[in-house]
């Protein structure tokens, strides 16, 4: 029976333009995954290894939400139910700090909304009062908005005003912080969004967890591809997103060097995608 094979795609559903919701059979990951952790998948023997956040797990399978932005994510999104991934490693990374914090503000931008889903659920179960801001470019891109009904307060935003508050998640965050006191923030989405939300959290002196979407290769701390500078007033240290993260307090991330590293292979990535699409 095909459905019993590890790493087989059990279900695939399109959520938005270029964004797919995929359930993958894997007992080990399905049983052990904790909020905040991720997997590294390889589509074929010669394929690149790509990290993806675990959006949900159920004991036998796990769920990822993937946006096609380059060669490997396009390839992954072209697979169908019944196809088998060449390999899957995980769960990787340190789980999120799930405990009672009090008032928690959780922000998800674009496909980052999928990454905050398990964290928000677990924080709610731990007794926190949770406010969730989810934002996307348009209503069509605002994924999983029906899955956050458990939140104490849900604030959807769209850049074009087609649903919810008209503006980006940063605008909504500023308004919310003027109204309420928060003990901790989670913010996951594009690097620029995580950088801007971290700057605001710094002003308010609130810890903010961000999940860094760095370039990553082996996922075990050996290759150094995901190395990131974490700076406090009196120290500066190199951390590896794969084993020390992926979550860090955004107030201490050296955002300029992080964003620079993220863009270092842009030209090669563009060429690889052009070749793949030909
Ligand atoms: P590449 O060849 O690597 O090229 C990517 C290109 O796309 C680059 O030029 C980059 O600048 C550009 N790009 C990046 N983001 C966007 C965007 N939003 N829109 C347009 N262009 C963009 N991705 C997910 O979709 N879902 C996840 O759950 C997820 N979780 C992650 C968790 C971790 C811990 C990390 C490190 C990354 C995660 N990512 C996630 C990002 C994902 O791993 C990368 O998008 C993927 O590796 C890209 O591989 P590629 O070969 O398709 O593209
Ligand atoms: P996007 O570019 O469509 O942006 C989504 C939302 O983020 C926007 O609607 C807006 O509200 C906000 N935003 C974006 N740029 C902003 C800016 N300059 N100022 C203020 N707000 C801004 O997002 P996308 O294309 O879906 O990309 C999502 C990103 O999330 C990807 O880069 C992906 O790698 C990352 N991601 C990370 C993880 C993780 O665990 N680290 C998981 C999933 C996705």
**Parallel, antiparallel, or unpaired for β 61-67 and 153-158?**
unpaired
pLDDT at 270: 85
Q: Look at residue 79 in the predicted model and tell me its pLDDT.
A: 96
Atom 11 of ligand 2: nearest residue by CA position: 168
Nearest protein CA to atom 8 of ligand 1, as residue: 266
Quick one: fold of 2-92? Elongation Factor Tu (Ef-tu); domain 3 (2.40.30)
Q: Would the CATH topology of 2-92 be identical to that of 103-262?
A: no
Residue 113 near ligand 2, beta carbon < 6 Å:
no
Taking the C-alpha atoms of 223, 229, 230 and 236 in order, what is their torsion angle to the nearest 10 degrees? 110
Backbone φ, ψ for residue 30 (5° rounding): -60, -35
Distance 215 CA to ligand 1 centre (A): 8
Query: Residue of the nearest CA to atom 24 in ligand 1?
Result: 66
What interface predicted TM-score (ipTM) does this complex get? 0.93
Going from the first residue of the chain to its last (278 residues), give the mean pLDDT of each consecutive group of 10, the final group possibly shorter.
Answer: 82 97 96 97 92 96 96 95 95 97 98 98 98 98 97 98 98 97 98 98 98 91 91 90 96 95 85 86
SS3 13: strand
Residues touching ligand 1 (Cβ under 6 Å) are: 38, 48, 50-53, 64-67, 69-73, 111, 114-115, 213-214, 216, 241, 246, 266, 269, 272
Please give the pLDDT value at position 273. Answer: 86
Distance of CA 153 to the CA centre of its chain: 21
- Cα distance between residue 94 and residue 170, in whole Å: 26
Residue nearest atom 39 in ligand 1 by C-alpha distance: 52
Atom of ligand 1 nearest to the CA of 266: 9
The ranges assigned to domains in the chain are: 2-92, 103-262
Give the ligand whose atoms come closest to the C-alpha of residue 108. Answer: 2
Question: The pTM is what?
Answer: 0.95
Ligand that comes closest to the CA of residue 245: 1
- CATH 3.40.50.80 is held by the domain 103-262: yes
């Amino acid at each position: 029976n095909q459905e019993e094979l590890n790493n087989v795609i059990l279900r695939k559903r399109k959520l938005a333009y270029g964004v797919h919701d995929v359930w993958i059979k894997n007992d080990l990951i399905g049983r052990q995954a904790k909020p905040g952790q991720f997997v590294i998948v390889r589509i074929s023997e010669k394929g690149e290894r790509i990290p993806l956040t675990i959006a949900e797990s159920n004991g036998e399978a796990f769920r990822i939400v993937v946006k096609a932005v380059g060669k490997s994510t396009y390839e992954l999104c072209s697979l169908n139910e019944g196809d088998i991934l060449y390999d899957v490693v995980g769960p990787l990374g340190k789980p999120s700090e799930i405990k009672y914090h009090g008032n928690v503000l959780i922000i998800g931008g674009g496909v980052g909304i999928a990454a905050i889903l398990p964290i928000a659920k677990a924080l709610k179960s731990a007794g926190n009062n949770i406010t969730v801001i989810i934002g996307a470019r348009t209503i069509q891109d605002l994924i999983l908005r029906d899955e956050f009904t458990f939140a104490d307060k849900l604030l959807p935003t769209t850049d074009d005003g087609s649903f919810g508050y008209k503006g980006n998640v940063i605008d909504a965050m500023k308004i919310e912080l003027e109204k309420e006191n928060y003990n901790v923030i989670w913010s996951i989405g594009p690097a620029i969004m995580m950088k801007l939300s971290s700057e605001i959290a710094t002003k308010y002196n609130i810890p903010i967890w961000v999940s860094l979407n760095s370039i990553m290769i082996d996922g075990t701390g050996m290759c150094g591809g995901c190395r990131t500078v974490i700076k406090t007033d009196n120290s500066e240290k190199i951390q590896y997103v794969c084993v020390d993260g992926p979550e860090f307090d955004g107030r201490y991330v050296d955002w300029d060097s992080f964003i620079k590293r993220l863009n270092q292979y842009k030209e090669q990535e563009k060429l690889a995608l052009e070749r793949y699409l030909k």
